[in-house]
Structure 1
């Protein structure tokens, strides 16, 4: 009886961790995309300003 709760709690925790990891992964991907695009945008804006 005591084993089942200890098994279910890590399962719910792992699901939450998977959700958090997926969310963080998406956020990192967005940051990487913005990091890749922003220098190009800055270069383009500098080129047009100059």
Structure 2
């Protein structure tokens, strides 16, 4: 299964999608941090 984070950009549209799909509006900041961490990890792996 492909890593979804490698396909998406960290932006409000994606975060809104998370809010609606997973009902995590009150976890928004934690989701944003985790998403950024995954995205950076993915980019680092591609660059490395």
Bucket of the pairwise TM-score, normalised by the shorter protein? 0.3 to 0.5
TM value normalised by structure 1: 0.44
TM-score, structure 2 normalization: 0.46
Bigger Rg, which one: 1
